[in-house]
Homo-oligomer: A and B are copies of this chain.
Amino acid sequence: MTVTLSDVAARARVSPATVSRVLNGNYPVAAATRERVLRAVDELDYVLNGPASSLAAATSDLVGILVNDIADPFFGIMAGAAQTEIGGQEGAVAPESGRQGSAATGTAGGTAGTASATGGTAGSMAGTVGAASPVGAGRAAGRAGSEKLAVVCNTGGSPERELTYLTLLQRQRAAAVVLTGGALEDPGHIEAMTTKLAKLADAGTRVVLCGRPPLPGSDAAVAALAFDNRGGARRLTEHLLALGHRRIGYVAGPAERTTTRHRLEGHREALAAAGVPEARDAQGRPLTVHGPYTRDAGYTATLELLSRAPELTAVVAANDTVALGACAAVRERGLRIPADVSVAGFDDLPFSVDAVPALTTVRLPLHEAGARAGRLAMGTEAPPPGGVATIGAELKARESTAAPRHA
């Protein structure tokens, strides 16, 4: 039923070894032989058995990209960029159009790309990609199999799933693993992760952190691309302070995430530097509310903040999505943005510039970071000195923030 390597070998009148070598392109095979093999592959419509080859070679071409929430463009953009960098973009898409996140959707243009598929059984792509091209002449020395299968795994923010996926990837002997976004700060989980990642690295899996701070024990081997969340947050709050705000509410993310903590710390740094005390309500409770990174959390928290302290002149949100909810809450209270209350976000997701008023936020080069992580995972790019690189965060002051009325 299933066509195997030896079937191809038989048909091409060569040994299985030769077929394998043609497919992997890492051993000299005479041109004539190769053509014969390739033709047989095509005719039999042969597809390599991945597990078998991974087993024999003790490596696989799987690269896992872990994200906390696949429905959130924050992760989607990084994952997409990384995946593009990893999965060999045959189409050779143009670099980038301009807006971050404008992945290659659509691909409107024409029918061009599919042309080759018209006839029969379009491209078997058996072993090496491109191997199935018309058996014609001028094909260069069949590229080595740098073809990787980049897949993204959605942890949903659950530490168990994070670990489970890592184990599953370890089982598959993944070539690399990219962890995106903030990490959970629970000591137990950190230890478990450190152990697991060390084990993966030991086994030869390249581990890359993208938008996540390096591990405590800095196991080297694990390259980290960290966002300057603290610095960005500081500049954002400085901006607000410069506008004259003194009573600023803060809708933070989940309490145990590094991202949440760093942004909050940056915020507080700015306040401290300016000698402005953290805003508190009548009961003396700080005007900081934690919640998940969702629009609804922003909405709810802002409503609460506004009730507890009607005199608030600005609300800083954990990220743009949360900010959207905050805006909705502010409006529902009959207040105008930014006339009555300024609102700021973080990340500068694509929709932020289109919000009304356009959202003041902190831009994180998600696409760039993801691409770089992808290259690190491929081993295409040298890891940063010390294994850690910090990626800048740039303040984007737009219309959702302005001087408070009674400034």
Which positions in A face B, CB cutoff 8 Å? 2, 45, 47-55, 60-61, 64, 68-73, 76-77, 79-80, 83-84, 87, 89-91, 93, 97-99, 101-109, 111, 113-119, 121-125, 129, 147, 149-154, 156-161, 163-165, 167-168, 170-173, 184, 186-189, 191-192, 195, 199, 203, 253-257, 290-297, 324-325, 327-328, 350-351, 354-356
Given contacts A55-B55, A108-B292, A296-B98, whether A70 and B173 have CB atoms under 8 Å apart is no
Give Cα A267–Cα B327 distance, bound, in whole angstroms.
Answer: 33
Give Cα A9–Cα B297 distance, bound, in whole angstroms.
Answer: 50
Contact present for A158 and B123 (CB under 8 Å): no
Contact present for A97 and B296 (CB under 8 Å): yes
Give Cα A93–Cα B192 distance, bound, in whole angstroms.
Answer: 22
Contact present for B290 and A121 (CB under 8 Å): no
Contact present for A291 and B106 (CB under 8 Å): yes
Contact present for B191 and A104 (CB under 8 Å): no
Given contacts A108-B292, A123-B163, A356-B355, whether A203 and B2 have CB atoms under 8 Å apart is yes
Per assembly, the copies of the chain total 2
Contact present for A113 and B159 (CB under 8 Å): yes
Give Cα A172–Cα B174 distance, bound, in whole angstroms.
Answer: 13
Given contacts A70-B79, A325-B354, whether A90 and B161 have CB atoms under 8 Å apart is yes
Contacts of A295 in B (CB 8 A): 99, 102, 350-351, 354
Q: Find A70's partner among B61, B83, B116 (CB 8 Å cutoff).
A: B83
Contacts of A77 in B (CB 8 A): 71
A335 to chain B, nearest CB (A): 14
A79 to chain B, nearest CB (A): 5
Give Cα A393–Cα B99 distance, bound, in whole angstroms.
Answer: 30
Give Cα A156–Cα B106 distance, bound, in whole angstroms.
Answer: 8
Contacts of A129 in B (CB 8 A): 164
Contact present for A121 and B80 (CB under 8 Å): no
Q: Find A93's partner among B48, B51, B89, B156 (CB 8 Å cutoff).
A: B156
15 residue pairs from A and B, CB less than 8 Å apart? A48-B171, A50-B173, A89-B156, A106-B297, A108-B291, A108-B292, A114-B160, A114-B188, A114-B192, A116-B188, A117-B189, A121-B195, A149-B165, A149-B172, A325-B354
With most chain B CB atoms within 10 A of its CB, the pick from A70, A189, A325, A356 is A70
A186 to chain B, nearest CB (A): 4
Contact present for B71 and A71 (CB under 8 Å): no
Residue of chain B at shortest CB distance from A299: B354
Contact present for B89 and A186 (CB under 8 Å): no
Give Cα A87–Cα B195 distance, bound, in whole angstroms.
Answer: 23
Contact present for B71 and A60 (CB under 8 Å): no
Contact present for A79 and B154 (CB under 8 Å): yes
Q: Find A152's partner among B154, B161, B294 (CB 8 Å cutoff).
A: B154
Contacts of A99 in B (CB 8 A): 294-296
Contacts of A256 in B (CB 8 A): 108, 111
Give Cα A170–Cα B292 distance, bound, in whole angstroms.
Answer: 38
